[in-house]
Each structure stands twice: as structure tokens, then as C-alpha cells.
Copies of this chain bind each other. A is one copy, B any other.
Amino acid sequence: MTPALPATTTAIWTRLMRASTRIQDAVETALKAEGLPPLSWYDALWEIEKAATGIRPLALQDRLLLPQYGLSRLVDRMVKAGLVERLACDSDGRGQVLLLTDAGRAVRAKMWPIYASVLQAEIGALPQDVAAALVQGLGLLAGSDLTPEQG
């Protein structure tokens, strides 16, 4: 047993883990059923698409909470699939700029309704006061970063 943690703390942690795993699984299952790429691709495609003039890999790492090599390999796959382009960076010879291809935009747009419908089903049904409290509480746990809009 060892040093006890307040029951509320452990309850938050276990439920946080269960909730995120459960909903993530539901999204992945729905995307796979439609023959679409996994959730991790969506997040990357969307961040690149929002940055209309392209985005630096480093910036993407921060937003996606991925290690450097993780992003490198993810981008590899998306480039191979024809969804993303790597361009040399003018202002910094070491770096690059990532851009979406038309195919990338199309796939992102196809994924969104599937993704959104799962979120609606899993999260959208919460009572308003509970939802508002979650936004506040999860905001504190999520840390300083702002929450970007989806869709």
C-alpha cells in the first residue's frame, strides 16, 4: 500500500486515463472502419492546414507533444502517402517547412465528420454544467498551452 494519496486524486487519475483511452479507441475504430488514417495523422494534418503558409517541424512537435524523431517518422509516412510536402526553409538552412498537398486537405476533410461524430456521441451528451466544469478542470491539468479549435 505505501504512501496513501487522497482518494480524489487517484479517482481523477484513473478516470482520466480510462476516459481518454476509451474515447481514443472509439475514434480509431471508427476511422479504421472507413479505411481512413489514424487519429495521430488527423492532428498533424490539421495543424499543418491551419498554418496556411506552412509550419516548422519544431512547432508541430510542441503542439502534438511528440519527440523529434517521432515527428520525423510521422511526416515520413504522410509524405510517402502524398498528403504532406517538405520544403526547404528560407530563413534557416537547417530547417524545413511542412505544407499540405491537395490530397492531404481532402483526406483531412474526409476524416473530420467521422471524428466529430464520435466526439459528439461520447462527449456531446454531457449536461451543460458538467461540461463547463470539465473544461475548467481539464484546462488546469492540461497545462499552460491554449486549446486550438478543431474542424
Chain A residues at the B interface, C-beta cutoff of 8 Å: 1-25, 65, 109, 112-113, 116, 119-120, 122-124, 126, 128, 130-143, 145, 147-151
Contacts and interface: CB of A to CB of B under 8 A. Distances in A.
Contact of A25 (B1, B17, B65, B119): B65
User: What is the interface of chain A mostly: helix, strand, loop, or mixed?
Assistant: helix
A54 B21 CA distance: 26
List the 7 closest A-B pairs by CB distance, nearest first: A133-B133, A15-B138, A19-B141, A18-B142, A20-B20, A134-B137, A15-B142
23 contacts: A2-B109, A2-B112, A5-B116, A5-B151, A8-B135, A9-B131, A10-B119, A11-B135, A12-B123, A12-B134, A12-B135, A13-B123, A15-B135, A15-B138, A16-B20, A18-B65, A22-B65, A22-B142, A22-B143, A126-B141, A130-B136, A133-B136, A134-B141
